[in-house]
Amino acid sequence: MKKAILLYLIPILFFQSAISQNRKIIDVHFHTRSAGDYGKIPPPNPITGKAPKADNNDMILNSNLELLRKYNVVKAICSGTLKRNADFISKDPSRFISSLEYPDHQNNALPDTLAFKKLCEEHKISAFGELGLQYEGELLNDKKYEPYLAICEKFGIPVAIHTGIAGPNTPYTCCPNFRIEAGKPLLLEPVLLKHPKLKIQLMHMGFPFLEDTKALMVVFPQVYVDISAVDWLVPKEEFYSYLKALITAGFEDRIMYGSDQMIWEDGIPLSIKNVEEAPFLNDAQKDKIFYKNASGFFNIQ
Ligand SMILES: [Zn+2]
């Protein structure tokens, strides 16, 4: 019995050490969450059923940092408020990169365009997102975002936008204005026409709008995707089928790993494991998805 358990554990231990020590990872979709962002008693992880252990801001920061170190996630693009991003950065300045999330969990207004330009000029933010405009039923093409996009284009700041769908019952719970229609990647075409040098990150790789995503990526080489959330929240075969379609279509140089880390300790390990185990990816492709593509997109040396 004991031997059987040991034989079962050896491959797991080997796998753990292989993924935690060898491959360098950039997480391009990481949230700097605070206690209370998901209610007083946060829900359990929808996949594993495990409740988050961390229940105050310090614990959340420390448990995330421990996870990133363990899995060799050497950089994380922090989507959150400037204040919370600063907390993470002060703890490990070389690991965390600030990106301005909007709307955020504290309902902060967008800085005015002068303040936003200053943030870009002074390298206080290196990306603009996650833009969860779909949760408000809004489009990036709305004219109120136009000056922000012009600034991002000028300073080479990537814009990271939530695309695709959201969890069950979203319009009945948190977000009555949420619309599936607003998450279609093709709706970004007018923005790309106006801003030919603007780098855009399609968060959640436009899932499940595969045809839209492929069309946009063929025509606009400055469009990259992140695989976040899809890589652990949807059935594995569904994730593989979508990712494989993008690889087959020739986009292996523009697909980036992201966890969409929120409050659970088991999302990052699960998403890394799913990519590592993808039977259709070779080692070079995994290196691109986990690190190389993001290092180019975000100019990380
Ligand atoms: Zn998102």
| 75 CA → ligand 1 middle, Å | 19
Cα of 300 vs its chain's centroid, Å? 16
Q: Return the half-sphere exposure (C-beta side, CA atoms, 13 A cut-off) of residue 212.
A: 18
Q: What was the pLDDT predicted at 14? A: 45
Q: Determine the distance separating the centroid of ligand 1 and the alpha carbon of 51, expressed in angstroms.
A: 21
Residue 223, phi then psi, degrees to nearest 5:
-95, 125
Distance from Cα 282 to the centre of ligand 1, integer Å: 27
Whole-number pLDDT of residue 18: 47
Distance 2 CA to ligand 1 centre (A): 44
By CB neighbour count within 10 A (0-12 exposed, 13-18 middle, 19+ buried), where does 90 fall?
A: exposed
Q: Taking Cα atoms as reference points, which of 150, 92, 161, 89 lies closest to residue 125?
A: 89
How many angstroms does the Cα of residue 207 sit away from the middle of ligand 1? 11
Tokens of 25: 């990872």
User: How far is the centre of ligand 1, averaged over its atoms, from the C-alpha of 114 (Å)?
Assistant: 27
pLDDT of residue 17: 43
d(CA 293, CA 254): 6
At 3 the pLDDT is 39
Distance CA 98, CA 79 (A): 7
- DSSP reduced 3-state for 172: helix
Q: What's the CA-to-centroid distance between 201 and ligand 1, angstroms?
A: 11
149 in helix, strand or coil?
A: helix
Whether 268 and 43 have beta carbons less than 8 Å apart is answered as no
C-beta separation of 269 from 235 below 8 A: no
Domain positions in the chain are 24-297
Q: Cα(61) to centroid of ligand 1, in Å?
A: 20
pLDDT at 10: 42
* Distance, CA of 279 to chain centre: 23
Q: What is the pTM of this model?
A: 0.92
7 CA to centre of ligand 1 in angstroms: 39
| CATH domain 24-297 topology | TIM Barrel (3.20.20)
Instruction: Evaluate the omega torsion of the peptide bond into residue 130 and state whether it is cis, within 30 degrees of 0.
Output: yes
User: Which of 77, 22, 5, 91 shows the shortest CA–CA distance to 293?
Assistant: 77
**Residue 13: its pLDDT value, please?**
44
Q: Given the structure tokens 């007083």, which residue do they identify?
A: 40
CA of residue 163 to ligand 1 center, whole Å: 7
User: Can you give the pLDDT at residue 296?
Assistant: 98
Tens-level pLDDT at each residue, the chain (301 residues): 343 433 444 444 444 444 545 799 999 999 999 888 888 888 888 888 888 888 899 999 999 999 999 999 999 999 999 999 999 999 999 999 999 999 998 899 999 999 999 999 999 999 999 999 999 999 999 999 999 999 999 999 999 999 999 999 999 999 999 999 999 999 999 999 999 999 999 999 999 999 999 999 999 999 999 999 999 999 999 999 999 999 999 999 999 999 999 888 889 999 999 999 999 999 999 999 999 999 999 999 8
pLDDT in the model for residue 48: 85
